[in-house]
Amino acid sequence: MMDITILFEILKGIGRFFINPLFYIAILSAIFLGYRRVKRERRFFHTRILDGWSELKNMLLMGFVLSLIISLFSVVIGLTVSLELLVAIFLVSLIGLVLYLYHVLSPIIVMTLAFCAIVWIDWQDWSYSIWGIDLAGRNVVEGLVITVPVLAGLLLMAEGILIRRNGAKFASPIVEKTKRGMNGVAYYSKQLWLLPLVTIIPGDGIQNFAPYWPQFTIGAEQFSLIIFPFVIGFQQMVRQKLPMYVYPQMGGSIVLIGELVLIVGLLAYFVPVLGAAALALGAISRTVIGVYYSRSEDRNSYAVIRSEKGIMIASVLPDSPAEKMGLIAGEVIKKVNGQLVLTEDELYSALQINAAHCRLEVLDHSGEIRLTQHVVHSEDNHKIGLLIVR
């Protein structure tokens, strides 16, 4: 009977996930991201690469499997969180979304700021009431010393995986002027991911402001279930190297930091002070990674810039003839149907020579020439799907 009760409360907890305002604020933010990206791409290239809803679909779908894994792990090891922690995470995430500061929305930054806020409340012996919720740091900090770093480590690993898999996919090209007056292309990736995590709150504190909230009992202890929308944000600009090389490397480094934070957080069970050390180590390391990649991107050095060897590709539209030919950003088209091409007009004129069997000579990222071909209908030669550096 207890198993049926727990299952029933889980189902009710899932339903109440949708009453959290952070969920809807994240949706609006993702829609705004898509709108800004499409507007920017049309300004530089007169077309958009992905539709304006792509950021929203990416946010809702890409983190779902990871959220299941983290939720399962948390439940298995008996990880519980306090209501105070969730409120603090909500407020930090809200500020990051509203101010458009997605650097702040790295899980380790959010969790560290939330933990510091609760420690400060405890130190000052303060108490607050927000939306009918009574918050106090007293008797809460000790239990969070283990919970926060473990959860932060898991979410930081998820952030690294998401960046590694999706960072380059949503990197939008931006045309910039170099110091020599040439057009160079930078790539800007700004994304959100939503991870609905099952969180367990011990005690009956949540009943004080939400008596209808689902609860279950194990032994003499009462627990409440909340499906909480953890929002992960990411933003990074790259110039010197292509996104397909930078973001997987960056994501891998973040995964390693997450693993370290998780291990040290678990050791906090035996030495509590290690919990705070894990958060500090993670927050500093994640900040250093962001600063390192930002400062290494000199505005006078571009991986994608107008080339004297041919047509430099800035991006390729999905499902286009160019994508089917295997063309990617950063490659240089030297010849089209045997004709040397240096300008956009020369490119499209050469395409008309033999559109039914179009042959291209392309200089790849290694500087090697490769051949590719595909059918391009004569009436669609301007729809080949290439965004080039003019």
pLDDT tens-digit map of 175-191: 998 888 788 999 999 99
Residues 289-306 have a mean pLDDT of: 85
CA torsion sign for 258, 264, 265, 266 is positive
Residue 94 has pLDDT above 50, yes or no: yes
pLDDT bin (cut points 50, 70, 90) of residue 220 is very low
Query: In this predicted model, which residue has the larger pLDDT, 137 or 120?
Result: 120
Name which of 141-155, 223-237, 292-306, 368-382 the model is least confident about.
Answer: 368-382
What Cα–Cα distance (Å) separates residue 190 from each residue in 32, 260, 355?
11, 26, 37
β-pair type (172-177, 221-238): unpaired
Exposure string of 318-327, with b = 16+ CB inside 10 Å and e = fewer, is: eebbbbebeb
Joined together, the tokens standing for residue 279 give 């958060």
Q: What pLDDT score does 206 carry?
A: 46
Question: What are all long-range contacts of 212-219, with beta carbons under 8 Å and residues at least 24 apart?
Answer: 213/16, 214/8, 214/9, 214/10, 214/12, 214/13, 214/16, 215/9, 216/2, 216/5, 216/6, 216/9, 217/2, 218/2
With a cut of 90, say whether residue 295 has pLDDT above it. Answer: no
The answer to whether residue 87 scores a pLDDT higher than 70 is: yes
pLDDT category of residue 286 using cuts at 50, 70 and 90: very high
Tell me, what DSSP letter sits at residue 382?
G
* 377 pLDDT above the threshold of 70: no
Least confident of 78-82, 187-191, 290-294, 296-300: 296-300
| Coil/strand/helix, residue 48 | coil
Residues comprising the chain, all counted: 390
Residue 93 confidence (pLDDT):
96
**Two tokens, residue 60:** 């809702």
The tens digit of pLDDT for each residue in 303-340 reads 999 888 999 999 999 988 888 889 999 999 999 988 99
Binned at pLDDT 50, 70 and 90, residue 203 comes out as low
- Where does the pLDDT of residue 358 fall: very low under 50, low under 70, confident under 90, or very high at 90 and above? confident
Work out the angle between the directed axes of helices 141-166 and 107-124 (0-180°, nearest 10).
Answer: 160
Say if CB 169 and CB 175 are below 8 A apart.
no
**Average pLDDT rounded to a whole number, residues 100-123:** 90
Q: Is 212 helix (H, G, I), strand (E, B) or coil?
A: coil
Handedness of CA 37, 39, 42, 48 (dihedral sign): positive
pLDDT averaged over every residue in the chain: 84
Q: How many CB atoms lie within 10 A of CB 28?
A: 11
Contacts of residue 23, defined as CB under 8 A and 6 or more positions apart, other chains included, come to 17, 194, 229
Q: Both tokens of residue 104?
A: 């702040």
- Looking at mean pLDDT, say which of 105-109, 114-118, 131-135 comes out highest: 105-109
> Is the Cβ–Cβ distance between 187 and 243 less than 8 Å?
yes
Q: Is the pLDDT of residue 285 over 90?
A: yes
Query: 343-376 as b/e, with b when 16 or more CB fall inside 10 Å?
Result: eeeebeebbeeebeebbbbbbeeeeeeeebebeb
Q: Give the whole-angstrom CA distance, residue 105 versus residue 37.
A: 19
Residue 193 CA: distances (Å) to CA of 9, 100, 106, 187, 301? 26, 14, 10, 19, 31
**Average pLDDT estimate for 357-380:** 81
The count of other CB atoms within 10 Å of the CB of residue 136 is 17
Lowest mean pLDDT among 147-156, 290-299, 317-326: 290-299
Pairwise CA distance, residues 309 & 333, whole Å: 8
Distance, CA of 138 to CA of 166 (rounded, Å)? 41
The proportion of the chain whose per-residue pLDDT surpasses 70, expressed as a percent, equals 82
Confidence of residue 133 (pLDDT cuts 50, 70, 90): low
The answer to which of 120-129, 140-149, 280-289, 370-379 has the lowest mean pLDDT is: 120-129
Q: Rounded CA gap, 183 and 307, in Å? A: 10
The pLDDT of residue 65 is 93
| pLDDT higher than 50, residue 214 | no
pLDDT at 223 (0 to 100) = 64
The pLDDT, as a whole number, for residue 81 is: 85
* Amino acid letter, 65: V
Q: Which long-range contacts (CB under 8 A, 24 or more apart) does 354-359 make?
A: 355/381, 358/321
The highest-confidence range among 17-31, 71-85, 119-133, by mean pLDDT, is 17-31
Sign of CA dihedral 28, 33, 34, 35: positive
